[in-house]
Amino acid sequence: MLESRPPTSIAVLVSGRGSNLRALLAAIDSGRCHARVIAVISDRPAAAALELARERGIPSHVVSPKQHADRPSWDAALAVQVAAVEPELVVMAGFMRLIGTPLLERFGGKIINVHPSLLPAFPGIDAPEQAIAARVRISGCTVHLVDSGVDTGTVLAQAAVPVQQDDDAAALHLRIQAAEHALLPAVVHAIATGAIELGERPRYRGPARDDAALISPPLL
């Protein structure tokens, strides 16, 4: 019963506008996602997502690479900041930097990312552009565990998005983002309710609610 299970506390890592953060908050507000955002952390002081966090009264933090001498010191500082808020789950929602070893060592198996392609196709940056260049007919989005590679962690769920004949990368990306805004809260909810059990080998235990049909895990 959800009444006896407290909402899962999540720290959200962002770099930009925060559209996935906004979708998560909307799902939480409507009761579709059994979680609570306890902190928003960005690598960019000007990220619009930080203003959204402030408007909602959510603690926000900036760990800028420009304030650190090198990449290892930034990696360590990010891990310290995330650990300081003690989240049960770390959600990368448009966070445009690779996660370093310190954060992986502290939260390995508890960090998820949403990526705008059907992994393993088109990892890394500019995934919609890659899809258009490859002339695929189907693209989509993926929520996956984060590891030390570039979008190589275990896939938890995916949603397909058709590529239209007149699509350019921007148009395709907009439709993929709409799918992300449904898929990411659904996966967070599934983790929060035990429908997806994280770990070295994540396990899918069945839908947490009717609209969990969005989730099509390949990990069974």
What is the pTM for the complete model shown?
0.90
Average pLDDT over residues 186-197: 95
8 Cβ contact list (under 8 Å, min separation 6): 34, 35, 36, 88, 89, 188, 191, 192
Residue-wise pLDDT for 122-180, tens only, equals: 999 999 999 999 999 999 999 999 999 999 999 999 999 999 999 999 999 999 999 99
Q: Annotated catalytic sites, by residue?
A: 115
* Among candidate residues 109, 121, 131, 114, the one with its CA nearest the CA of residue 201: 109
Q: Could you read off the pLDDT of 66-77 as tens digits, one per residue?
A: 999 999 999 999
pLDDT at 3: 53
